[in-house]
Amino acid sequence: MIGEVPDLSHTKYELVEPLGHGGMGSVYRARDRALDRLVALKIVGTFAASPDAIDRLVREAKVLARLEHPGIVPVHDVGALPDGRAFYTMKLVRGRRLDEYVNDETTAAERLRILERLCDAVAFAHANGVIHRDLKPANVMVGPFGEVLVMDWGVATLTAGTEGESSVVGTPGYMAPEQARGDRVDERSDVYALGAIMSLLIGHGAPKPLRAIAARAMSPEPTQRYATVEQLAADIARFRAALPVEAYREGIGGRLARVGRKYAVPIALVLAYLAMRLALLLLPR
């Protein structure tokens, strides 16, 4: 349980306080005595200390160790407690979960920036053969300086080798249909989850092109989604640059609105100039 105090003797770590508790174990704030720094220490719980659970925790540490990216928490160390339970330490992340960070004061531009950084981290993982399988707002941290970090890689799977397992893992609402069925997953399953996160971030009142991007990412049929996270991120970038997006076929009205957003300042200056000229023409001489 989260209340029990793990025995850190024979390690270089000193327990500070518990941070959280999950299905596999617990996470603690700890001090690395050798380097005099605070770290996050993840330990297999006593209730789940089977060989399989220990192997899974070590595997999670190894997956993280191969993903050196600013948007992915780095692993510092891995080891075993005196009772045989596995642990690993990682960077202590300061900030708030995405579902706690986003509120009415978060601007649309900031939400899209967060989404783009999230896509960048996931695309990096995919390029290194790792699929997260449990992307959701609770597994994304936003730091005090705008850092966006993807957390909890405990159910991640590899795209190559013998680890392309097919099992029902993930979170309802963010799991792709094939994932919920227990079918094999690929990068497009993470694309679906990113679409679900995007749908939450943009809300129901978002412009139609943004809603179309999220809808395409969340297509029930994998072949109808963006094939890669990079393609999803590229469409978001096109929207931010006031360019046509692939997911949305715009009409004349939509094109005029998009051009209006892109050139809002010059158009406003021209209209102000024309209004001034008209006013001068109408003034009595």
- The set of catalytic residues is 134
Which residue, chain included where needed, has tokens 């996931």?
Answer: 122
Residue 201's contacts (CB-CB under 8 Å, 6 or more residues apart) are 102, 111, 112, 114, 115
State the residue for tokens 């395409």: 216
The answer to whether the CB of 155 falls within 8 A of the CB of 133 is yes
> What is the spatial distance between Cα 93 and Cα 68, in angstroms, rounded to a whole number?
15
Q: Cβ atoms within 10 A of the Cβ of 280, count? A: 8
Quote the CA–CA distance of 233 and 240 in Å, as a whole number: 11
Amino acid at 80: A
Q: Count of CB atoms within 10 A of residue 269's CB?
A: 11
